[in-house]
A and B are shown apart, each in its own frame.
Chain A
Amino acid sequence: MLKIFYSFWYKFKEYIVLIILILASLFALSNNNNASVKNVRTIAFSSFALFSSLISDVTSSTLIKNENGKLRRLNAELMLQVNLLRKYGIENQELKRLLALKDTTSFPLISASVVSKSLNTASNTFTLNSGKIDGVKPGMPVINDLGFIGIVYSVSDNYSMIRTLRNVDLRIRVKDERSRVDAILKWDGDDLILTNIPKTSDIKIGDRIVSSELSTIVPLPIPIGYITSINNMSTDIFNRVKIKSFSNLTSVENLFIIKMVKSVQMNKLELNFFEKENSAN
């Protein structure tokens, strides 16, 4: 019997072992959810994970290095795109506001864009892409949706140069919108200053300043800025009042020139500031 069994084993041992092992595998397959199998698997998995984590750390650091390079490049590209979109957004908002202003104002407006800016602290000037052909003349006020920007100073066929609020050569007559106190606005190289305001005048911080109808340059009330500080100088009879303009001159790009044709008689009578200055030069 044993001999038969031995010869059977000798003949078919590969098959017998195969069948046993297949049965063992199928048994393992059917017992996958068994708690003890799970435990064994957890132990084996966690103990081997140490070796594999060492290697994967090395490989992942190489991968991360490559990925970092790619991400940095992508980041730079996205930053450029975001900047471009932000610029478009700002331009869009500005143009929308300008369109709204154009619809509401009763004065004829000439639209213009800033071609170049001379951001000199003492004599700030802008060059606009509208000139004589568009009907621009020296002395015309320039505004944007927030308020006054400057005065056209010289004009060529297609371009014009304006003196902005931050120009020491520009002085305009303004008034306090609330108390109607008149003053002269000028740029002292650091701040916009209101001069000729007696200490007894009714002015307060936060008051809106607009151009005065009495002005020979801007004879209509255009918002300019608001009072930020009032300095009472004991030795002087006038206050030194600082104002902040509504418009941000460093970021402004699209403007309107108010096509104002002033009365020649009035000009002659009041000796227009601009013409007077030109003739002096």
Chain B
Amino acid sequence: MRTKFLLSILFFIPVLIFQITLVQFITWNAITPNFILILLVFYSILYGQLYGTVLGFVYGLLFDLITGGLLGSAMLSSTLAGFIAGYFSNENKRHINLKPFNFGLIVLLCSITASIIFSIFSTIDFNKNIISSLFEEGLLPGLYTSIVALIIIYFYPRRKLLES
């Protein structure tokens, strides 16, 4: 358990570097995919809800500290995203949920939730129309993240996935 957790933290570092340095090149109209969330959802499905919730909290904490953002905003959103993703960590259905389409939908659900919560605490402008704000800050990044997740999981080796 401890090795698994350390490994997931270890994987987090390159993904975080990628997220804060290189993701700008695939940004579309200021909408960025959240690679950290994809990793979190993946581990949550793989290792369960409790694991996902705690990992989400740790990922969020590190993200907030390292990026210098509002401490707690990513913590809260990632914790909830990990918790939601953990619902799909049924032992019998795990391999089904890690199939590209299912995984994409789970990432979409988690990403929308995380984006909305994150934006409520950090970026959302309440003077604007709340519906359009939620659409821009929540749905669009969620959609973009899920498309990216779908592509990643599609090219992820199946054997490795089944082994894990």
Task: List chain A positions with a Cβ less than 8 A from chain B.
Answer: 13-14, 17-18, 21-22, 24-32, 37, 40-41, 44-45, 48, 51-52, 55-56, 59
Are B17 and A29 neighbours in the complex by a CB distance under 8 Å?
A: no
1/0 per residue, CB under 8 A from A, across B1-40: the answer is 0000000000001001100111001000000000000000
Tell me, yes or no, whether B97 is within 8 Å of chain A by CB.
no
Q: How large is the interface on B (under 10, 10 to 19, 20 to 34, 35 or more residues)?
A: 20 to 34
> CB-CB contacts of B33-64 with A at 8 A, as 1s and 0s?
00000000000000001100110110011101
Q: How many Å from the CB of A36 to the closest CB on chain B?
A: 11
Q: Which of A14, A40, A59 contacts B53 (CB 8 A)?
A: A14
B70 touches A29 (CB 8 A): yes
Q: Which residues of A are found within 8 Å of B75, using beta-carbon distances?
A: 21, 24-25, 28
Of the A-B pairs whose beta carbons lie under 8 Å apart in the complex, a sample of 20, sorted by A's number, is: A13-B50, A14-B50, A17-B54, A21-B57, A21-B75, A21-B79, A22-B79, A25-B57, A25-B72, A25-B79, A26-B76, A28-B64, A28-B75, A31-B71, A32-B72, A44-B65, A45-B65, A51-B13, A52-B21, A55-B21
Chain B residues lying within 8 Å of A59, measured Cβ to Cβ, are 21-22, 25
A52 near B20 (CB under 8 angstroms)?
Answer: yes
- CA distance in complex: A36, B61 (Å): 15
Q: Which residues of A contact B103 (CB under 8 A)?
A: none
Q: Is B49 a contact partner of A25 (Cβ separation < 8 A)?
A: no
Bound-complex Cα distance A13 to B83 (A):
12
Given contacts A55-B21, A56-B21, contact A25 B83 (CB under 8 A): no
> Is the pair A21, B71 in contact by a Cβ cutoff of 8 Å?
no
Is there contact, CB below 8 Å, between B79 and A18? yes
- 7 nearest CB pairs, A to B: A29-B72, A28-B72, A44-B65, A25-B76, A25-B75, A55-B21, A48-B66
Chain A residue nearest in CB terms to B65: A44
Q: Please tell me if B68 contacts chain A, counting CB pairs below 8 Å.
A: yes
A-B CB contacts (within 8 Å), total count: 76
Q: In the complex, what's the smallest C-beta–C-beta distance from A118 to chain B, in angstroms?
A: 59
Q: How far is the CA of A56 from the CA of B21 in the complex (A)?
A: 6
Q: Does B111 sit at the interface, judged by CB under 8 A?
A: no
Chain A: CB-nearest residue to B121: A29
Taken together as a complex, chains A and B put the C-alpha atoms of A31 and B66 apart, in Å, by 17
The reply to whether B71 and A32 contact each other, CB–CB distance below 8 Å, is yes
How close is B17's CB to chain A, nearest CB, in angstroms? 6
- Asked if B73 CB lies within 8 Å of chain A CBs, one says yes
A15 to chain B minimum Cβ distance, whole angstroms, is 9
Contacts of B70 in A (CB 8 A): 29, 32
Closest to A27 in B: B72
Residue among A13, A32, A37 facing the most chain B CB atoms (10 A cut-off): A32
CB of B86 closer than 8 Å to a CB of A:
yes
Known interface pairs A25-B57, A56-B21. Does A41 touch B68 (Cβ–Cβ under 8 Å)?
Answer: yes
Determine the chain A residues whose CB is within 8 A of the CB of B49 once the complex forms: 14
> Could you tell me if A55 and B76 are in contact, using CB atoms closer than 8 angstroms?
no
**Quick one: which of A14, A29, A51 contacts B71, CB cutoff 8 A?**
A29
Q: B57–A14 contact, CB under 8 A?
A: no
Contact B53 A29 (CB under 8 A): no
Determine the chain A residues whose CB is within 8 A of the CB of B60 once the complex forms.
25
A45 and B68 contact, CB distance less than 8 A = yes
Q: Which of A14, A45, A55 has the most CB of B within 10 A?
A: A14
For B68, the closest partner residue in chain A by CB is A45
- Expressed in whole angstroms, the Cα–Cα distance for A32 and B50 within the complex equals 27
Interchain nearest-CB distance for B42 vs A (Å): 18
The distance in angstroms between the C-alpha atoms of A111 and B16, with both chains bound, is 74
Is the Cβ of A14 less than 8 Å from the Cβ of B86? Answer: yes
The residues of A that contact B62 with a CB separation of less than 8 Å are 44
Nearest-Cβ distance from residue B15 to partner chain A, whole angstroms: 12
Cα separation A14 to B66 with both chains bound (whole Å): 27
Q: Are A26 and B66 in contact (CB under 8 A)?
A: no
> Cβ of B66 and Cβ of A45 under 8 Å apart?
yes
A28 partner residues in chain B, CB cutoff 8 A = 61, 64, 71-72, 75
User: CA of A31 to CA of B80 in the docked complex: distance in angstroms?
Assistant: 20
For A51, the chain B residues whose CB sits under 8 A away are 13, 17
CB-CB under 8 A from A55, the residues of chain B are 17, 21-22
Could you give, for residues 79-111 of chain B, a 1 whenever the CB lies within 8 Å of some chain A CB and a 0 otherwise?
110010010000000000000000000000000
